[in-house]
Amino acid sequence: MAAASAAVSPIIQPRPLSRTLAIFLKEAKYEFLTRLRLRAYSLATVGFPVMFYVLFGLVLNGRDAAIGSTHFATYLIATYGTFGVMGASLFGTAAGLAAERGLGWLQVKRASPMPPFAYFAAKVAMAMTFSAIVVALLFVLGTTLGGVHLTAAETVKLLGTLVVGSLPFCAMGLAIGYFCGPNSAVAVINLIYLPLSFCSGLWVPLMFLPKLLQRFAHLLPPYHLAQLALSVFGGGQNESNWIHWEVLAGFTLICLGVARIGFQRDEGKMYG
């Protein structure tokens, strides 16, 4: 019989990779279901870009409207696509994280044996899925009602660019989620999201904005994602795509750094 002071130390078997992978998938699946059923999120995330696209891309201008050589309805798939990706990513990660962090659910997850990274990966996967849904819907609407003609290769490239482009905004969402309370997160995101979208030329094409704003747009990450999307069919400002990718990568790293500070602050402060 062991003495009273000897602690039992069973050997903990490390989790096999396949099981870890299964947890990541399950976590992502349920994160997606959680958000899909939360109509405040799913309807707004999908609804706003689609509504704007229908109003400004399809109703307001005819099938043949064009800016220079660029077909208007095609151009707006890229910009409203960027707008939709941003919304899905920011609201998906920041609002969820701020609420779950502030109201104790994240702590329950952190006390469980869940691999901590699975929690964040699930949020990003969910945001990317919603991003893909929004872009696909815009594409279907544009093709059927707006006279948009994209080759299969262009379609895949546009979708891929925008879905990968949700990463910087997921990172931004995590940073916001770590520094906002459960009640203020949505308001803060709206305050950032809407002006940022306008100034990056996502609502009204950049060439219709004042010169000063056109120059200012170069400082904004959504502008760079929109330019990458536009470049798929040659509708952008003809700048090097490398610059756009570099700006987005740099922005992602900065946001992840800020999120990490928030994460560590939380870990140190957990209070009882």
Partner 1 sequence: MIATLQDVQHQEYTPATRPLVAQLHGVTKNFDQIRALHKVDLSVPAGELVALLGPNGAGKTTAVKLLLGLTRPTSGSVRVPGGNPVQAEVRMSIGVMMQVAKVPETLRVREHIDLFSSYYPSPLPLEETLAIANLRDIKDRIFGELSGGQKQRLLFALAVCGNPDLLILDEPTVGLDVESRRLLWDQIRKLVADGKTVLLTTHYLEEADALADRIVVINHGEIAAEGSPTEIKSRASGRRIRCRTRLSVATVASLPGVLDVQTDREYLDIRVTEAEPVLRELLLRDSTVSGIEVTSAGLEDAFLALTQHNSNAEIQGRN
If binding means CB under 8 A, how many residues of this protein chain bind partner 1? 46
How far is the CA of 206 from the CAs of 200, 212, 214, 233, 235, in angstroms? 7, 11, 6, 17, 12
Rounded CA-CA distance 136/24 in Å is 25
Least separation in angstroms between residue 38's CB and partner 1 is 5
Q: Return the closest-CA partner of residue 226 out of 93, 96, 42, 70.
A: 70
Report DSSP state, residue 182. Answer: T
Which 49-108 positions form the footprint of partner 1 (CB under 8 A)?
Answer: 99-100, 103-105, 107-108
Least separation in angstroms between residue 51's CB and partner 1 is 23
Least separation in angstroms between residue 117's CB and partner 1 is 9
Which 104-123 positions form the footprint of partner 1 (CB under 8 A)?
Answer: 104-105, 107-108, 110-116
In this complex, which beta carbon is closest to partner 1, that of residue 174 or of residue 220?
A: 174
13 forms part of the interface with partner 1 (CB under 8 A):
yes
Rounded CA-CA distance 140/119 in Å is 32
Instruction: With beta carbons less than 8 A apart as the criterion, state whether 185 and 169 touch.
Output: no
Look up residue 151 and give its two tokens. 């080759």
Which 181-210 positions form the footprint of partner 1 (CB under 8 A)?
Answer: 182
Least separation in angstroms between residue 126's CB and partner 1 is 12
Q: Give the CA angle between residues 152, 155, 161 to the nearest 5°.
A: 140
One residue of 27, 226, 233, 248 binding partner 1 per CB under 8 A: 27
Q: Return the closest-CA partner of residue 79 out of 204, 258, 254.
A: 204
Rounded CA-CA distance 215/67 in Å is 19
In this complex, which beta carbon is closest to partner 1, that of residue 114 or of residue 145?
A: 114
State the binding string over 145-184 for partner 1 (x if CB under 8 A, else -). Answer: -------------------------------------x--
23 CB-contact burial (10 Å; exposed 0-12 / middle 13-18 / buried 19+): middle
One residue of 26, 149, 260, 265 binding partner 1 per CB under 8 A: 26
**Length of the chain (residues):** 272
212 forms part of the interface with partner 1 (CB under 8 A):
no
272 forms part of the interface with partner 1 (CB under 8 A):
yes
Q: Which residues bind partner 1 (CB under 8 A)?
A: 1-15, 19, 22-23, 26-27, 30, 33-35, 37-38, 99-100, 103-105, 107-108, 110-116, 182, 267, 269-272
